[in-house]
Amino acid sequence: MLFNPAGKVFVGRRFGNAYPNAWQMPQGGIDAGESPKQAVMRELEEETGIAKADIIAETKDWLTYDLPEDIAGISWSGKYRGQIQKWFGLRFAGTDADIDLNADDMPEFCEWQWVTMEDLPGLIVPFKRHLYDALINEFHDLPDRILST
């Protein structure tokens, strides 16, 4: 969860999503030999071009979600039914000009915006809402912490 200096959260709208009006935060897998903290910084840069961010929080537990039956056989070639994720809160140390959705050869997002943390569940695909609710509950103090620095 990437926070700008105003305490708002970065979300991107994915290319080719079965839910065209759904947004999500950057996320991705952990490569062999990589720590979760290294992975979050790599994925953030790959998906958004952002290299200027500092980790300020980490979820206590890993969070999970399952794909709905109608897309479980399509997504990830039917190999997985959901994900288990470790989430981090990050302070964006750059400017909007640092955001480059085409930083990677295979862009994941077609557009982006900053939103309040409370607006996130309404923007997210329904099957991930419980995960985002848990994340918001755990990181509820981060916008105020960002604003006070």
How does pLDDT run across 68-84, given as a tens digit for each residue? 877 766 555 556 678 89
* Mean pLDDT, residues 133-144: 97
* Strands (E) located in the chain: 2-3, 9-14, 23-24, 53-58, 63-66, 82-85, 88-92, 109-115
Q: Is 143 a residue whose pLDDT tops 90?
A: yes
How much is the pTM?
Answer: 0.91
Gyration radius (Cα) of the chain, Å = 15
What does CATH list as the number for 2-59+87-147? 3.90.79.10
pLDDT of residue 70: 73
For the chain, the domains span 2-59+87-147
Per-residue pLDDT tens over the stretch 10-52: 999 988 766 777 899 999 999 999 999 999 999 999 999 999 9
How confident is the model at residue 20, as a pLDDT? 72
